[in-house]
Chain A
Amino acid sequence: MEQLLNWFTIHQQMIYIVILSIFLGIEVIGRVPSVLHTPLMSGANAIHGVVIIGAIIVMGKAEHDNYVALLVGFLAVVLGTLNVVGGFVVTDRMLEMFKRKK
């Protein structure tokens, strides 16, 4: 319990970020037309690829002789990149088609 309270005090800024982000996410999406549901979902999908940053940190910190960490970290970097790059490219392809053609 004390650990939890300590942790709250140390991380209070992050907890504020979390709470504000929750409301921000709701506000930002609020009135999206159904036409854009699929691209929006795909775009949000690309954004949570930000988890790649964690993978890069894990990878960059791994000791040279810790092969398990190196391999798992490497796999995480590859998968995270797939999420980010694939996500943004797919979203762009979808949205490209919405543009008016002459």
Chain B
Amino acid sequence: MEISILTICYLIGSVTFIIGLKMLSHPETARKGNLIAAAGMGIAIFGTIFLYQEEGIKLGNYAWIFTGLAIGSLAGTLAAKKVKMTAMPEMVSLFNGMGGACAALISVVEFGHISHDPGSVDSVTFLIIFAGLIIGAISFAGSMVAWAKLNGRIKDYAFNGQHVFNLLLFALIILASAWYIFNPQAGLNFIFYTVFALSLLYGIFFVLPIGGADMPVVISLLNSFTGVAAACGGFLYNNPVMLTGGILVGSAGTILTILMCKAMNRPLSNVLIGSFGGNHKGTAGESKDQGNFKEISINDTAVVMSYAQKVIIVPGYGLAVAQAQHVCHELEKVLADRGVEVTYAIHPVAGRMPGHMNVLLAEADVDYDKLQEMEQANEQFASTDVVLILGANDVVNPAAKTDPSSPIYGMPILDVELAKLVVVNKRSMKPGYAGIENELFFQPKTSMLFGDAKDVLQKLVAEIKTL
């Protein structure tokens, strides 16, 4: 009887995951979808605690389980509630790492149980335990590095031959695992723990050389890794909900990773391996004589913007870093009060993660209808008086269209040059993430407005109010 109820619990869990994911991919239903998946997860978890049995024996150690759940829930809720919207990507990475670690630890305990008598189980069980360990550990270590990188705690790091080193490391992990799986002996248990350590090391070296701008793609990839690690647990315990949940995330995560790469117009392999040439990119555009750029004062900007009919704001990474989304919304309001039509043009990869800019602007109460996607915005630029670019660079770089030797060649961009006047706010003339010069800054229509985005916007708002 109880087992049948548990089966139903797992069925509900699996179905809610599918429905939840489906709903998460539409703006109107997304929030409900998340709650539905969460409810299904709750049913599956409590069903397991109270109804699960193996050979007629129920689970024990309730005190431990509930203490663990309480600590995890408390810490998780606090962390999730307190994190700033701009720090969202590293938070996701951190939680992903926790899941990976959890999967690896399950393999450690299960291995501890059977390692005294390795002959008692078949080699496929060992294969699953090793797979869970390796994937979980790589996902954990990689996510931690991604988290620290987004935080600015560690910098990109690559050494000569890292590519080869990583491949050798990975080969060693596979060989050692295969050796144990085919010769399971109690005396060889150290191999398991060595593989654990090597997998952690591999996770670190896998992510370390990849550039900060590509972290979202890496996090998405590691996300699908953790899904597969969870599915290994599903095989181990014959547990359908772990299997569906894990595999679903594994495949959906992979597709999402590819979609993200597509938005940047870069193949995944380029993101993962391309980093090795990263140090040389900076020199690409420097040899060309770019000519002069012109500066514009805050006063002048205030004047042109308030007498314009149509203004489009192009927010980018710089806006996110300066946490200027609220002031930006204020600027939009003072301009709207003067009868100026203000909208935002959002490039698919603006911000620190695809879609991140929308979340940031939504946080600042910017109306959803004011956000225009790239295709929409590109039709509007020609009839626009002023385009204000806030901390965006590569997404407005015309080199993506004109210069086949540019690393971002082929990436779809916002055609801001069609507007009558382009004002670019940047902290300095330093090139953007991709490390390439931007011709746009040197065009006659373009004026540079230097300074921290938040600071500049505050002054701009104050200035417009006095006009």
Contact = CB atoms under 8 A, between A and B. Distances in A.
- In this complex, the member of A48, A57, A60, A85 whose beta carbon has the largest number of chain B beta carbons within 10 angstroms is A48
A53 B243 CA distance: 11
Contact of B68 (A36, A59, A88, A99): A59
Interface residues of A, number: 84
Contacts of B18: 24, 28
B34 interface: yes
B241 A50 contact: yes
Interface residues of B, number: 120
Main secondary structure of the interface of B (DSSP, over half): helix
A79 B105 contact: yes
Given A77-B65, A94-B88, A83 B25 contact: no
A51 B102 contact: yes
A53 B240 CA distance: 11
A50 B220 contact: no
Given A18-B243, A25-B250, A92-B31, A81 B71 contact: yes
Contacts of A21: 243-244, 247-248, 251
B435 interface: no
B73 A72 contact: no
Contacts of B306: none
Contact of B52 (A35, A57, A75): A57
B72 A80 contact: yes
A90 to B, nearest CB: 4
A77 B371 CA distance: 41
Contacts of B77: 85-86, 89
Nearest to A8: B124
Contacts, number: 391
Contacts of A23: 251
B73 to A, nearest CB: 5
Contact of B61 (A28, A49, A62, A78): A62
B122 A44 contact: no
Contacts of B34: 39, 43, 46, 88, 91-92, 95
A39 B24 contact: yes
Contacts of A72: 105, 108-109, 112
Interface string A25-49: 1101111111111111111111111
B106 interface: yes
B252 A44 contact: yes
B396 interface: no
Given A33-B27, A34-B348, A53-B233, A17 B247 contact: yes
A38 B89 contact: yes
Given A38-B356, A76-B109, A100 B101 contact: no
Interface in B1-39: 13, 17-18, 20-22, 24-27, 30-31, 33-35, 37-38
A47 B245 contact: yes
Nearest to B124: A7
Grouping DSSP codes into helix (H, G, I), strand (E, B) and loop, the A interface class, with mixed when no group exceeds half, is helix
A29 B33 CA distance: 13
B373 to A, nearest CB: 7
A83 B396 CA distance: 36
A87 B95 contact: yes
A69 B249 contact: no
Contact of A43 (B24, B26, B62, B89): B24
A71 to B, nearest CB: 9
Interface string B204-237: 0000000000001001100110110111011111
A90 B246 contact: no
Nearest to B243: A17
B235 A11 contact: yes
Interface in B112-135: 112-113, 122-124
A25 B246 contact: no
- B72, B256, B368 pick with most chain A CB within 10 angstroms: B72
Contacts of A17: 240, 243-244, 247
Contacts of A82: 72, 75-76, 79, 95, 98
B37 A57 contact: no
A98 to B, nearest CB: 5
B103 A3 contact: no
Contact of B255 (A29, A64, A89, A95): A29
B44 interface: yes
B134 to A, nearest CB: 15
6 contacts: A44-B223, A47-B17, A54-B102, A55-B68, A59-B64, A72-B109
Interface of A: 3-4, 6-7, 11, 14, 17-18, 21-26, 28-62, 64, 66, 68-70, 72-101
**What are the 5 A-B residue pairs with the smallest beta carbon separation, nearest first?**
A81-B72, A60-B59, A25-B251, A77-B68, A86-B76
